Amino acid sequence: MLIELAVKSLASRRKSVLLTFMSLVISISVLISVEHIRSQAKDSFNRTIAGVDLIVGAPSGQLNLLLYSVFRMGSATSNIDYESYQKLKNNDQVEWAIPMSLGDSHRGFRVLGTDENYFKHYKYGNKQTLALSQGEAFSSLFEVVIGADVAQRLKYKVGDSVVIAHGIGSTSFSKHDNTPFKISGVLAPTGTPVDKTLHVSLNAIEAIHLPLSKQNLLLKNPAAVTLKPASVTAVMLGLKSKFMTFKIQRDINNDQNDRLSAILPGVALTELWQILSTVENILTGISILVLISSLFGLSTMLLMTMQQRSNEIAVLRVLGAGPMILFGLVLIESLVVILLANLTALTLLSGALVYLSDWLAVNYGLFLSGGLLNWRILELVLMITIAAVITAFIPAIEAYKQALHTSLSANS
């Protein structure tokens, strides 16, 4: 009976209730979405690269090695010998190895020298492999495969020519004009640094750094020049047995004859995320403040209507409703509003995530699931509901006091 009475009372004040309801839906949506994105963004961040057991490079600290090999940020302190890469590749415990050579760029986008294993074994997200949206992988010396962002921003397509420059700046005065590359393929969007990278072969990296005389000879007669990379920047390894990961890492790091550094990408990603944790804490704090202001809005709405409801309270008193009944009525009204707001916010967010999940993955690298009903979100909804009931205590007490001093004759 009280619930029915609370609903009818709210309906009689529909305009002010609707505005408060919309405010609550927005604030709850913001808080839940920030929490959901925060937890899922961490997973997405950790899934920038998948299926790689070890990343090996010159000793420079695991964060630096992670940043330049995975995120194409910064530069390596030094390269590792090509023979070291061959040694790693031929290790009995290594299933595959992806060489990576960095140091050049094209109009601000990094150029990565690698081989066919990159397109076969590099994975991201939920262990998704790279796919070509146009063309095919490079098969000849001066062919390049570009990422989706490179193609979109520079308006490139298969068959266009690009000139690689030395260094990583957006403007360079040292361009390899003598050896232009033809775009052979465009990768499908991944939402990872792959989208902002141009991919060429290791031999191509070696070729563009040859003396001009040898480059001219190479262009005239490719068989006349022997190309062998002198070094690579880093190597990604996939092992035959995950149980051997720590042993292989220890063996590489302790090899006195070849100074290398092997890192676990998952551990390095977690360490990097912890550095960024301040940002997520700020976002959560802002969301909580927005919710608190909306909850006070609910309390204010209920409190301001007390004067308008004096006749209603007087009639309820005549019908035998005690002060505690009226106290409970106000709490039930706030509970009805907050429960409906929670349900509406969850429904809207779930629909938005289902509809926008592909777009968020492609453009922002956020692999968000549409399922919001997990323990963390349910705990958050429960806390919001309890907070709403607590803030409703002020108008409920006011209703209690008004019931004690109100009679039908006083309001006639």
Helix H or strand E encompassing 4: helix 2-12
Task: Report the DSSP beta bridge partners of residue 111.
Answer: 104, 198
Q: pLDDT tier at 307 (50, 70, 90 boundaries)?
A: low
Domain count, the chain: 2
- pLDDT on residue 402: 64
Query: Which SS3 state, helix, strand or coil, does residue 278 take?
Result: helix
The answer, as to whether pTM is greater than 0.85, is: no
Domain check: are 308 and 191 in the same one? no
Say how far apart CA 149 and CA 189 lie, in whole Å.
8
Q: pLDDT tier at 185 (50, 70, 90 boundaries)?
A: very high
Per-residue pLDDT tens over the stretch 350-393: 888 878 777 766 666 566 665 677 787 888 888 888 888 888 78
In a domain, 269, yes or no: no
In a domain, 270, yes or no: no
The separation between the first and the last C-alpha atoms of the chain, rounded to the nearest angstrom, is 26
Q: E strands, 71-179, where? A: 80-81, 94-106, 109-114, 123-124, 128-129, 132-135, 143-146, 161-162, 165-166
Domain check: are 258 and 140 in the same one? yes
Per-residue pLDDT tens over the stretch 92-135: 999 999 999 998 999 889 999 999 999 999 998 778 899 999 99
Other residues' Cβ atoms within 10 Å of the Cβ of residue 300: 15
- Mark 369-408 as b/e (b = at least 16 C-beta within 10 Å): eeebeeeebeebbeebbebbbebbeebbebbbebbeebee
In a domain, 182, yes or no: yes
Question: Of 263, 288, 318, which residue constitutes the final position of a domain?
Answer: 263
Residue 44 or 255, more confident: 255
Per-residue pLDDT tens over the stretch 218-273: 888 877 777 889 899 999 999 999 899 999 999 999 998 888 999 999 888 888 87
Phi first, then psi, for residue 141 (nearest 5°) are: -60, -50
Per-residue pLDDT tens over the stretch 153-184: 999 999 999 999 876 655 544 666 778 999 99
Report CA dihedral (139, 143, 149, 150) to the nearest 10 degrees. Answer: 180
Say how far apart CA 72 and CA 260 lie, in whole Å.
20
CA distances to 61, 72, 102, 249, 328 from 262, in Å: 10, 18, 18, 6, 64
Q: Average pLDDT, stretch 135-161?
A: 93
Domain check: are 64 and 192 in the same one? yes
Helix spans in 305-374 (H): 310-318, 323-364
Tokens of 80: 């590792």
Structural domain of residue 345, as residue ranges?
A: 2-45+276-411
**Which residues are CB-contacts of 179 (< 8 A; sequence separation ≥ 6)?**
142, 164, 204, 207, 208, 215, 219
